[in-house]
Amino acid sequence: MNNYHLTITTKTQGQLVVLTKYSEFGELVFVEIRELNARVGHVALAWIYGQIPHEESGIDELKKQPRVKVQLISTDLSFAAFWNLYDYKKGNRKRAENTWSKLDDATRIVALKKVKEYNFDMTKVSHGKVFPERWLAQERWENDYD
Protein backbone atom coordinates (compact mmCIF):
# COMPACT_ATOMS: atom_id res chain seq x y z
CA MET A 1 0.00 0.00 0.00
CA ASN A 2 1.52 3.33 -1.07
CA ASN A 3 0.54 6.83 -0.08
CA TYR A 4 1.25 9.99 -2.04
CA HIS A 5 1.07 13.72 -1.45
CA LEU A 6 0.01 15.45 -4.64
CA THR A 7 0.64 19.18 -4.78
CA ILE A 8 -1.57 20.53 -7.53
CA THR A 9 -1.35 24.09 -8.81
CA THR A 10 -4.32 25.25 -10.86
CA LYS A 11 -4.04 27.99 -13.48
CA THR A 12 -6.18 30.50 -11.63
CA GLN A 13 -7.24 29.00 -8.31
CA GLY A 14 -3.94 28.49 -6.45
CA GLN A 15 -2.45 25.41 -4.88
CA LEU A 16 -3.67 22.47 -2.84
CA VAL A 17 -2.23 19.30 -1.37
CA VAL A 18 -4.09 16.04 -1.77
CA LEU A 19 -3.35 12.83 0.10
CA THR A 20 -3.99 9.63 -1.83
CA LYS A 21 -3.78 6.02 -0.72
CA TYR A 22 -3.60 2.98 -2.97
CA SER A 23 -4.35 -0.59 -1.89
CA GLU A 24 -1.90 -3.45 -2.16
CA PHE A 25 -3.59 -4.16 -5.50
CA GLY A 26 -2.80 -0.67 -6.78
CA GLU A 27 -6.36 0.63 -6.58
CA LEU A 28 -7.20 4.10 -5.29
CA VAL A 29 -8.88 3.69 -1.90
CA PHE A 30 -8.60 7.13 -0.30
CA VAL A 31 -8.45 10.78 -1.37
CA GLU A 32 -8.35 13.72 1.01
CA ILE A 33 -7.62 17.39 0.47
CA ARG A 34 -5.14 18.23 3.22
CA GLU A 35 -4.11 21.80 2.48
CA LEU A 36 -6.03 24.32 0.48
CA ASN A 37 -4.21 27.60 -0.16
CA ALA A 38 -6.85 29.01 -2.45
CA ARG A 39 -10.54 29.25 -2.95
CA VAL A 40 -11.45 26.40 -5.23
CA GLY A 41 -14.88 26.06 -6.77
CA HIS A 42 -16.81 22.93 -7.63
CA VAL A 43 -15.65 22.94 -11.25
CA ALA A 44 -11.99 23.18 -10.22
CA LEU A 45 -12.43 20.44 -7.62
CA ALA A 46 -14.03 18.19 -10.22
CA TRP A 47 -11.05 18.84 -12.50
CA ILE A 48 -8.61 18.06 -9.67
CA TYR A 49 -10.36 14.83 -8.74
CA GLY A 50 -10.36 13.92 -12.41
CA GLN A 51 -6.57 14.22 -12.47
CA ILE A 52 -6.03 11.67 -9.70
CA PRO A 53 -5.36 8.24 -11.20
CA HIS A 54 -7.67 5.43 -10.09
CA GLU A 55 -4.79 2.99 -10.48
CA GLU A 56 -1.37 3.48 -8.92
CA SER A 57 0.23 2.73 -12.27
CA GLY A 58 -1.08 6.13 -13.42
CA ILE A 59 1.11 8.02 -10.94
CA ASP A 60 4.07 7.98 -13.34
CA GLU A 61 1.95 9.70 -15.98
CA LEU A 62 0.75 12.23 -13.40
CA LYS A 63 4.37 13.11 -12.56
CA LYS A 64 4.82 14.39 -16.12
CA GLN A 65 2.22 17.12 -15.68
CA PRO A 66 3.88 20.50 -15.07
CA ARG A 67 1.41 21.65 -12.41
CA VAL A 68 1.57 18.51 -10.29
CA LYS A 69 4.26 17.51 -7.81
CA VAL A 70 4.09 13.92 -6.59
CA GLN A 71 5.75 12.82 -3.36
CA LEU A 72 5.77 9.20 -2.17
CA ILE A 73 5.16 9.09 1.56
CA SER A 74 7.10 6.83 3.86
CA THR A 75 5.03 3.88 4.96
CA ASP A 76 6.43 3.62 8.51
CA LEU A 77 3.47 4.90 10.47
CA SER A 78 4.42 3.22 13.72
CA PHE A 79 4.46 4.95 17.07
CA ALA A 80 8.22 4.33 17.20
CA ALA A 81 8.62 6.39 14.02
CA PHE A 82 6.70 9.26 15.63
CA TRP A 83 8.53 8.93 18.97
CA ASN A 84 11.95 9.02 17.32
CA LEU A 85 11.05 11.86 14.99
CA TYR A 86 9.50 13.97 17.76
CA ASP A 87 12.76 13.51 19.68
CA TYR A 88 11.62 14.82 23.06
CA LYS A 89 11.32 11.78 25.24
CA LYS A 90 9.59 13.42 28.18
CA GLY A 91 6.16 12.96 29.67
CA ASN A 92 3.99 9.88 29.54
CA ARG A 93 5.00 7.64 26.65
CA LYS A 94 2.11 5.25 27.28
CA ARG A 95 -0.50 8.01 26.90
CA ALA A 96 1.19 9.26 23.75
CA GLU A 97 1.23 5.75 22.30
CA ASN A 98 -2.44 5.26 23.20
CA THR A 99 -3.39 8.50 21.42
CA TRP A 100 -1.27 7.55 18.39
CA SER A 101 -3.00 4.16 18.16
CA LYS A 102 -6.39 5.90 17.81
CA LEU A 103 -5.29 7.90 14.74
CA ASP A 104 -6.04 6.69 11.24
CA ASP A 105 -3.20 6.30 8.73
CA ALA A 106 -4.02 9.50 6.86
CA THR A 107 -3.78 11.54 10.06
CA ARG A 108 -0.56 9.76 11.07
CA ILE A 109 0.99 10.75 7.73
CA VAL A 110 0.08 14.38 8.27
CA ALA A 111 1.23 14.28 11.90
CA LEU A 112 4.64 12.92 10.90
CA LYS A 113 5.00 15.63 8.27
CA LYS A 114 4.01 18.31 10.77
CA VAL A 115 6.42 16.98 13.41
CA LYS A 116 9.25 17.86 11.06
CA GLU A 117 7.87 21.39 10.66
CA TYR A 118 7.31 21.67 14.43
CA ASN A 119 10.87 20.55 15.17
CA PHE A 120 12.23 23.18 12.79
CA ASP A 121 9.93 25.83 14.27
CA MET A 122 11.19 25.02 17.76
CA THR A 123 14.74 25.95 16.72
CA LYS A 124 13.56 29.55 16.29
CA VAL A 125 11.74 30.10 19.58
CA SER A 126 12.89 30.53 23.16
CA HIS A 127 10.47 28.09 24.81
CA GLY A 128 10.69 24.31 24.81
CA LYS A 129 8.65 21.65 23.10
CA VAL A 130 5.46 20.33 24.63
CA PHE A 131 5.39 16.73 25.80
CA PRO A 132 4.59 14.32 22.96
CA GLU A 133 1.30 13.16 24.50
CA ARG A 134 0.08 16.76 24.70
CA TRP A 135 1.14 17.47 21.10
CA LEU A 136 -0.91 14.48 19.98
CA ALA A 137 -3.89 14.99 22.30
CA GLN A 138 -4.21 18.63 21.23
CA GLU A 139 -3.95 17.68 17.55
CA ARG A 140 -1.14 20.15 17.03
CA TRP A 141 -0.46 18.73 13.59
CA GLU A 142 -3.32 21.01 12.57
CA ASN A 143 -1.22 24.08 13.48
CA ASP A 144 0.74 26.11 10.95
CA TYR A 145 4.48 26.17 11.56
CA ASP A 146 7.03 28.40 9.86
- Asked whether residue 13 carries a pLDDT value surpassing 70, the answer given is no
> Own/partner pairs for 125-132, CB < 8 Å, 24+ apart?
128/88, 129/86, 129/88, 131/88, 131/90, 131/91, 131/92, 131/96, 132/82, 132/83, 132/86, 132/88, 132/89, 132/90, 132/91, 132/93, 132/96
Tens of pLDDT, residue by residue over 51-107, are: 899 999 999 999 998 888 998 876 688 999 999 999 999 999 999 999 999 998 889
At residue 8 the predicted structure's pLDDT band, cuts being 50, 70 and 90, is confident
Domain ranges of the chain: 2-73, 79-142
What pLDDT digit, counting tens, does each position of 104-135 carry?
888 998 898 899 889 988 988 888 899 999 99
This prediction's pTM:
0.55
